[in-house]
Amino acid sequence: MEINKKQAAALAVLQLLRESRLRPDELDLRLGQVRSPKYWKQINPQLSVNGVSFDAVEVVARVAAIEELATHFQKEGYLSVEQIIPKQHVGRMRQGTENLKRAGWPLVFAYVYDEFWQVTRLPTLANLLAAILGPAYKQIPKMWTHYVAPEGGTGWPPHTDGWRSSNRVTVWVALSDATVENGCMYLIPSNSTPARIAQNFTNLRTITQKSMRTLLMNTRALPVGEGGVLCWDHRVIHWGSTSTGSTEPRLAISQEFIARSEKPRSDEIPLFDIETLPTFSQRLDAIGKALLAYQKFEPLVIRYADLAKALVTLDAQST
């Protein structure tokens, strides 16, 4: 009976969210704004939209040898690197997300701006990804801007980014300090996850006490400072924790990459070249698809479902 009550409550919340979708006049207004690079520039004049790349001076002195990091990744399925993104650039991006929030936009719209694509193309990070995935790797059009509210906000629950997917990497960039108190990432290294669980995690309903002990005892907390980067294999179990005792939100972005040797799935195309930035139209399409795909983790974006569908349709019509 208790389970049924919880299910009924969840369904009621979802229904309310669906009913909160943008009205036709709101949808028309938002579509007009979305399609205008000038509009986005007005919200964030410190960022660029299809503009000139920002001058990036990477912090490379603190980065271990690329080969050592790649070896660690191959062994455990993840790595953590402190501040390889310059703080002044992270500051611009964080300010950008704060301005978007004040303007009432889902934070994934940060990806209309060049800087949010450029940040994973900086030489040190690009060289690291090439060491892990091989040369000429591509970017999957899947990304998100993660916001964990202070005092009770939570990250996404335990999941994998694709437990059947090989040679794919998620890059997670901290735009604020991610601490144990404000909801940092946790994961279980791939070499510490029982094979039965690793291969069937998405469909598992129960696990043995022995497996549970193994998972709990091998869980890694991954606090990382502003400008730091986390990377993990798509088969690694990971999650964001709950913010407790913090007065500041935890803010980060994530993007996904695939080896050239792998055949992308239908939801992973079109692949983006790492030598160039996606066009404005491609960005809007990717944003629309992200809004639709991640409703399961971010139910509040259901409000923008019709806008997301319009963005995807818009790109389909232009190709």
pLDDT digits (tens, 9 = 90+) for 116-134: 999 999 988 999 999 999 9
Q: How far apart are CA 179 and CA 177, in angstroms?
A: 6
- Does pLDDT of 13 surpass 60? no
Report the pLDDT value the prediction gives residue 11, as an integer from 0 to 100.
Answer: 57
User: Which pTM does this prediction carry?
Assistant: 0.89
Residue 20, SS3 per DSSP: coil
Q: What length is written for the chain?
A: 319
Average pLDDT for the chain: 88
- Decide if 145 is inside a domain: yes
Whether residue 92 lies inside any domain: the answer is yes
| 82 in any annotated domain | yes
Whether 181 shows a pLDDT value over 90: the answer reads: yes
For residue 264, what pLDDT is reported? Answer: 95
Q: Is residue 139 part of a domain?
A: yes
Q: Do the domain assignments include residue 191?
A: no
Nearest to 251 by CA among 307, 164, 184: 184
Burial class (CB in 10 A: 0-12, 13-18, 19+), 24: exposed
d(CA 235, CA 78): 10
Q: Residue 104, Cα to own-chain centre: how many angstroms?
A: 20
Strand order across the 138-148 sheet:
78-81, 229-233, 168-174, 250-258, 138-148, 272-273
Average pLDDT over residues 226-243: 95
| Total structural domains within the chain | 1
> What range defines the domain where residue 125 resides?
44-186+221-278
Residue 310 lies in a domain: no
Q: What CATH number is given to the structural domain containing 52?
A: 2.60.120.620
Judge residue 195's burial from the number of C-beta atoms within 10 Å of its C-beta, 0-12 exposed, 13-18 middle, 19 or more buried: exposed
236 within a domain of the structure (yes/no):
yes
**Domain assignment present for 306:** no
pLDDT reading at 52 higher than 60: no
Asked whether residue 6 carries a pLDDT value surpassing 70, the answer given is no
Give the model's pLDDT for residue 86: 86
Q: Spell out the residues 6+ positions from residue 192 whose beta carbon is closer than 8 angstroms to its own.
A: 76, 214, 218
Element (H, E) at 251: strand 250-258
